[in-house]
Amino acid sequence: MTRPSLRIAPSILSADFARLAEEVARVEAAGADLLHIDVMDGHFVPNLTVGPPIVAALRKVTSLPLDVHLMMTNPDAFIPEFAEAGADYLTVHVETCPHLHRTVQSIKERRVKAGVTLNPATPLSTVEEILADVDLLLVMSVNPGFGGQQFIPSVLDKIARARQLIDRIGSAALLEVDGGVKAANAAGIIRAGADILVSGSAIFASSDYSQMIAALRGSAKATAGSKAASPRKR
């Protein structure tokens, strides 16, 4: 299967919320491919962020696909509202979904792309049976809850194993990585097999969003020659 080209998904968690539309316009103009929206409920993760009204508001001001990451205890109860608000991807944590297959079907029935994600300490095997049914696998490279954390190095191996698993079963799922992604470590993450890099603080704390997005993409070019030696052979 031909791999799609690398996509960059700025996380608005690190944007200036008082000027959100302007921030989104800036990352869109800077070449972002998706907009990553972190929904936190103060229960599954120790932080509170945004809900469906913000997703609906952003839907009106950008044509970027809205990549909504649900860090909440009961995502099933909110899938209809987020779908209605205009989410393009809805990604749920396996730790919060006792009936994951039903949850994924409920997302897809609403013509929204379904994603599943797992915390750093959650084994990859927890998503093995659902991978053929999903559009996105998100591997968390920090413990979710906050922007600006350090990438957990041991997750690199998990990303490589996720790549192998997706390819082995022929899943169409895109492999996304979220947490602590910077220009300095992007090359290794891409080499491990990521299709989408989420980046919050690296982009929004930079003075030039275009330059930072290009730097993250530059890492893709830097590794293009070594793709044949990707961890897939492991």
Half-sphere exposure (Cβ direction) of 129: Cα atoms closer than 13 Å? 6
Q: Least CB distance from residue 186 to ligand DX5, whole Å? A: 11
14 binds ligand DX5 (CB under 6 A): yes
Residues that bind Zn ion (CB under 5 A): 38, 69, 178
Residue 198 within binding range of ligand DX5, rule CB under 6 A: yes
Identified catalytic residue from 33, 67, 178, 195: 178
Considering only 23, 38, 176, 195, the residue that binds ligand DX5 (CB under 6 A) is 38
Partner whose footprint covers residue 115, from ligand DX5, Zn ion, none (CB < 5 to 8 Å by kind): none
The span from the CA of 7 to the CA of 213, in Å, is 10
Q: Pick from Zn ion, ligand DX5, none: which does 75 bind, CB < 5 to 8 A by kind?
A: none
- 178 among known catalytic residues: yes
- Choose among 40, 16, 29, 28: nearest CA to 66: 28
Taking Cα atoms as reference points, which of 55, 201, 52, 45 lies closest to residue 117? 45
Q: Residue 107 interacts with ligand DX5 (CB under 6 A)?
A: no
67: partner contacted, choices ligand DX5, Zn ion, none (Cβ within 5-8 A by kind): none
Distances (CA, A) of 111 to 20, 80, 88, 89, 173: 27, 11, 8, 10, 16
Q: Which of 33, 38, 41, 195 is catalytic?
A: 38
Neighbours of 29 (CB within 10 A): 10
Catalytic residues: 38, 178
